[in-house]
Amino acid sequence: MRRFLLSAALLCFASQLNAGDLKIQFLFDGVVPPPTAINVNRDEAFCGKHGLVDERLVVNPTSKGIKNVVVYVYTGRGGSKLPDQTPKNATHVLANKNCRFEPHIVIAQVGDTLKVTNPDPVGHNASMNFLKNTPQNPMIPSGQEVEVELKESEPAPIPVTCSIHPWMQSRLVVLDHPFAAVSDEDGVLVIKDLPNEELNFRVYVEAADGALDEVDLNGKTVKWKRNRFDVDIKDGMNDMGVVKIKANQIKYGD
């Protein structure tokens, strides 16, 4: 028994050694546009007091970091081949809070559950037009919640919307693996525990005006293909550097 436990511990340690992290920072290249105010035309007494803005593009005016950029290992056609991943069976909370969805981006793995809550005093709904999972559109009265089982991976981020308050939008990313991350307020993200091999990654920028086929990476122009790029992951931290997204690659404020 002791030998078995020791062997298991050594295998776990070895697997940790053969894993790397990928770090990227996304910056806005240009004059930072001011946040666009939402036209609150429903439940104005409550929703109108929260200073709601269009969250498709959130840029830190100091660092120029772009928040809510998603990067994940792409396993679709022409992408990486990964072994089957153990489900985490995690529960992710998406709250209808102050007439907006919080968080704006949810990253989940097949087998996880999405719990949609409503702490607001007004009713909401959460429409999810899945491509692989069963489409959902539950009504969520004040103080109630619903749970959605995520049984299949989705080929793209899925919009989550509220038809009662049409400005409310978020994005749900459902993958067949855990290798994904979303950028913070400074545009920084880190994908943890990647296998040591060349991997194909896909970038999702909600406000992008078309595909990001050309970007500035550490001061040099590089070509991507349909928002995708390859990185040969090594042990430890793989710092890819700074990706700048030009203002003319963004559509915001319409």
pLDDT confidence of residue 241: 99
Residue 228 belongs to some domain of the structure: yes
Q: Does position 252 have pLDDT exceeding 60, yes or no?
A: yes
pLDDT-above-90 percentage for the chain: 92
Do 226 and 213 form a contact (C-beta atoms < 8 A)? Answer: yes
Residues 192-235: pLDDT tens digits?
999 999 999 999 999 999 999 999 999 999 999 999 999 999 99
- Asked if residue 229 belongs to a domain, the reply is yes
For residue 76, pLDDT beyond 90 = yes
Burial of 28 (0-12, 13-18, 19+ CB in 10 A): buried
1-56 pLDDT, tens per residue?
455 444 444 444 444 457 999 999 999 999 999 999 999 999 999 999 999 999 99
Peptide bond into 138 cis (omega under 30): no
pTM exceeds 0.85 for this model? yes
Residue 239 lies in a domain: yes
3-state secondary structure of 171: strand
And the tokens for 40?
């609150």
Per-residue confidence (pLDDT) for residue 127, from 0 to 100: 98
> Looking at residue 146, which CATH number applies to its domain?
2.60.40.420
Determine the Cα–Cα distance for residues 120 and 240; give it in Å rounded to an integer: 41
Mean pLDDT, residues 147-172 taken together: 98
Query: Quick check: is 83 in a domain?
Result: yes
Supply the range of the domain harboring residue 41.
Answer: 2-249
Average pLDDT of span 115-133: 98
The average pLDDT across 78-85 equals: 96
* Torsion on CA atoms 46, 44, 206, 163, rounded to nearest 10: 100
The CA distance from 84 to 57, in Å, is 34
Give the per-residue pLDDT at 70: 99
pLDDT of residue 11: 45
Mean pLDDT of 76-83: 96
Q: What pLDDT score was predicted for residue 144?
A: 98
pLDDT classification of 74: cutoffs 50, 70, 90 = very high
Q: Per the structure, how many domains does the chain have? A: 1
Residue 254 lies in a domain: no
Average pLDDT, the chain: 94
Q: Which pLDDT value is given to residue 133?
A: 98
Q: What pLDDT does 254 receive?
A: 61
**What average pLDDT score do residues 176-180 get?**
98
Query: What is residue 200's three-state secondary structure?
Result: strand
Closest CA to 171 of 112, 101, 105, 94: 105
